[in-house]
């Protein structure tokens, strides 16, 4: 059903805005008048269409129209607050819709409200928009509706999303400075080699004298970069395309994830992030009465690494046969011994959800510690590499000058 955005006047003459679903603009106006709202302007909310022949630009449309995890977490928190304050579900959705600034999300929420009004459950309405709401989100909402604790489930869901987003933000913030330094340092070195060094070394080559070996190496590298820079550009683009295409195939995705787990230093970080995400999500699902097998089916899709996903999938099969979760995970690849042992203890004590939350807390702290250690190590390494490169350039330029001075004397 089409969704319309309107500006109108209420019975007191106060301006108001919002969205409403109707079959036509006339129907939308009639609905508003029935609510004692008098429309001034009304227009349909449409998706941005991609013109024929420009399908390759569709990803840009998706990029700017996608709902970020932070926006979804805020929406979930607001809905939980309204439901906890006694608002009925439809009334809470009606209250939220005008506050949303993103047109695509506003239209989506209006369509969800329409489905709920027509008798659909909230989980069923959300499942129509799987591109926005994950299987974790939908299943937790379904569990909350069936148990009559939807506002509590939404609060927990918002907590989980905010916690994961906070961890991601801390990792991004910690890596931002080293990455920026690497990019700027590389750009400076390339600029020196392509524009500054050739002008200086041209003076030496015009003299016709034999140059020192470092100077000859510097000139060769500089000339190569100036003459064949396009090969480097093609190589970088080709590498990015290759990685992108590899990750789109199941076998390639698995090989890349397995390769990352084989890298020293990186393996530990990836492992800790995956375990923290697994434990936190599984705990949330189990706390909201989602069956173990269904929870494992959901969690395997958000592990972030195909090796871990395969281990969780195989563990789900073993759990279905009556084996313990901790033992099943220990038989696979990826999960550290500490995590599997803690899960076994939680199963034996009947406190699996609490133990999973403790595992998530432990590994999230370890992730932060590991990130801080890596960034502290990366900064001096990059400074050292930059210093060695600049020292080589300076020596290569100074050696011919010293040689000329000796000849003059």
Helix (H) or strand (E) holding 367: helix 352-408
pLDDT level of residue 64 (50, 70, 90 thresholds): very low
Show the tokens assigned to 214.
């470092």
Distance separating alpha carbons of residues 64 and 67, to the nearest angstrom:
9
Please determine whether the domains at 3-63 and 160-409 fall in the same fold group of CATH.
Answer: no
DSSP string, 152-172: HHHHHHHHHHHHHHHHHHHHH
pLDDT score recorded for residue 386: 84
Span 176-223, pLDDT tens digits: 877 888 888 888 888 888 888 888 777 776 666 677 888 888 888 888
pLDDT score recorded for residue 45: 62
pLDDT score recorded for residue 342: 92
The residue that leads in pLDDT, 83 or 247, is 83
pLDDT score recorded for residue 59: 37
Count of other CB atoms within 10 angstroms of residue 246: 14
Distance separating alpha carbons of residues 174 and 161, to the nearest angstrom:
20
pLDDT level of residue 306 (50, 70, 90 thresholds): confident
Write down the domain spans for the chain.
Answer: 3-63, 68-159, 160-409
Distances (CA, A) of 309 to 168, 264, 332, 346: 20, 21, 10, 22
3-state secondary structure of 323: coil
Q: Could you tell me what percent of the chain has a pLDDT over 70?
A: 89
The residue that leads in pLDDT, 298 or 348, is 348
pLDDT level of residue 51 (50, 70, 90 thresholds): very low
Q: Looking at 47-51, 189-193, 232-236, 279-283, which range is the least confident one?
A: 47-51
pLDDT level of residue 358 (50, 70, 90 thresholds): very high
> Which CATH number is correct for 68-159, 3.20.20.70, 3.30.1330.80, 3.40.190.10, 1.20.81.30?
1.20.81.30
3-state SS of the chain: helix, strand, coil percent to 5?
75, 5, 20
Span 90-103, pLDDT tens digits: 888 888 887 777 77
Count of alpha carbons within 13 angstroms of residue 359, beta-carbon side: 33
In 347-379, which positions are buried (b, 16+ CB within 10 angstroms) versus exposed (e)? Answer: eeeeebbebbbebbebbbebbeebbeebbeebe
Span 254-289, pLDDT tens digits: 888 888 888 877 888 888 888 888 888 888 888 877
Show the tokens assigned to 275.
């375990």
CATH 1.20.81.30 fits 160-409, yes or no: yes
Mean pLDDT of 68-95: 86
CATH fold for domain 3-63:
Ubiquitin-like (UB roll) (3.10.20)
3-state secondary structure of 134: coil
Q: Looking at 152-161, 292-301, 396-405, which range is the least confident one?
A: 396-405
- Residues facing residue 44 across a β-bridge: 4
What are the start-end ranges of the H helices in 300-351? 306-320, 325-331, 337-349
Mean pLDDT of 299-328: 86
* Contacts with 237 (C-beta within 8 Å, 6 or more apart), sequence order: none
Mean pLDDT of 106-127: 85
pLDDT(355) > 90: yes
pLDDT score recorded for residue 334: 83
Distance separating alpha carbons of residues 162 and 69, to the nearest angstrom:
8
pLDDT(89) > 60: yes
pLDDT(54) > 70: no
3-state secondary structure of 85: coil
pLDDT(44) > 60: yes
Q: What is the mean pLDDT of the chain?
A: 80
Span 361-404, pLDDT tens digits: 898 888 888 888 877 787 788 888 888 888 888 888 888 777 76
pLDDT score recorded for residue 48: 40
pLDDT level of residue 62 (50, 70, 90 thresholds): very low
Distance separating alpha carbons of residues 84 and 81, to the nearest angstrom:
5
pLDDT level of residue 405 (50, 70, 90 thresholds): low
């Amino acid at each position: 059903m089409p969704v319309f955005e309107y500006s109108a006047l209420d019975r007191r003459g106060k301006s108001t805005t919002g969205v409403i679903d109707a079959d036509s603009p006339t129907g939308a106006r009639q609905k508003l008048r029935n609510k004692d709202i008098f429309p001034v302007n009304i227009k349909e909310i449409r998706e941005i269409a991609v013109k024929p022949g420009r399908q390759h630009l569709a990803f840009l449309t998706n990029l700017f129209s996608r709902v970020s995890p932070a926006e979804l977490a805020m929406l979930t928190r607001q809905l939980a607050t309204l439901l906890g304050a006694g608002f009925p579900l439809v009334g809470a959705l009606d209250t939220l819709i005008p506050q949303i600034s993103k047109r695509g999300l506003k239209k989506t929420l209006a369509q969800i409200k329409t489905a709920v009004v027509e008798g659909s459950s909230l989980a069923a309405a959300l499942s129509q928009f799987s591109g926005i709401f994950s299987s974790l989100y939908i299943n937790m909402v379904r569990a909350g509706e069936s148990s009559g604790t939807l506002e509590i489930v939404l609060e927990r869901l918002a907590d989980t999303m905010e916690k994961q987003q906070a961890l991601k933000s801390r990792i991004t913030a910690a890596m931002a400075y080293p990455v920026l330094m690497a990019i700027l340092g590389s750009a400076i070195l390339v600029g020196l080699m392509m524009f500054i060094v050739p002008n200086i070394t041209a003076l030496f080559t015009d003299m016709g004298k034999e140059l020192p070996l470092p100077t000859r190496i510097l000139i060769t590298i500089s000339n190569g970069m100036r003459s064949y820079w396009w090969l480097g550009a093609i190589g970088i683009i080709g590498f990015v395309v290759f990685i992108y295409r590899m990750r789109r195939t199941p076998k390639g995705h698995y090989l890349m994830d397995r390769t990352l787990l084989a890298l020293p230093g990186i393996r530990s970080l990836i492992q800790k992030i995956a375990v923290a995400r697994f434990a936190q999500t599984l705990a949330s699902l189990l706390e909201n009465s989602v069956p173990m097998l269904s929870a494992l089916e959901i969690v395997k899709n958000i592990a972030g690494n195909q090796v871990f996903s395969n281990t969780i999938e195989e563990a789900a099969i073993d759990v279905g046969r009556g084996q313990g979760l901790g033992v099943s995970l220990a038989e696979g690849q990826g999960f550290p011994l500490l995590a599997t042992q803690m899960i076994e203890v939680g199963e034996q004590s009947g406190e699996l959800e609490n133990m999973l939350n403790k595992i998530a807390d432990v590994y999230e702290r370890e992730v932060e510690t590991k990130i801080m250690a890596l960034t502290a190590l990366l900064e001096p390494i990059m400074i050292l590499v930059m210093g060695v490169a600049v020292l080589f350039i300076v020596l290569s330029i100074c050696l011919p000058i010293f040689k000329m001075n000796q000849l003059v004397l």
